[in-house]
Amino acid sequence: MRHRLVAAWRGVADGPLMDLPTLSVADLAPKIVAQCGMTNRVKLEDVLAAWEEIVGAFLFKLTRPDTIERGILTVRLMQPTAHHALSLEKAKILRRLQAKLPDAKIRDIRFRHG
């Protein structure tokens, strides 16, 4: 009877009010993250977590991964000496990143001061 009254009030055919399936947060979260363009940010969080292990404690204090765009990781540096040290080890660091985080699909590293 309730359905009929609500249907008459709304001006729709008689039937259940809600036929939509119930979705869990686990179903919705990946879609929302992808629509907001936050997938790169999630990858960057993974890189930040692995960065200290890959470059060591000293260089970790002087550097921070900043962005990942089109497979290129941009790292911010505080000192030119860190730039020199990382430039010498760039290929090794890139291989370690690719081995540790294959889903991030990092293909190059660029260093920037500031």
Taking only the tens of pLDDT, the chain with its 114 residues reads: 777 777 777 776 665 556 656 778 888 888 887 787 666 666 788 888 889 899 988 888 999 999 888 889 999 999 888 899 899 999 999 999 999 988 888 899 999 987
CA distance 57 to 60: 5
CA distance 106 to 98: 6
Q: Is 89 exposed, middle or buried (0-12, 13-18, 19+ CB in 10 A)?
A: middle
The b/e string for 19-53 (b: 16+ C-beta within 10 A; e otherwise) is: eeeeeeeeeeeeeeeeeeeeeeeebbebbeeebee
pTM tops 0.85, yes or no: no
DSSP tag of 17: S
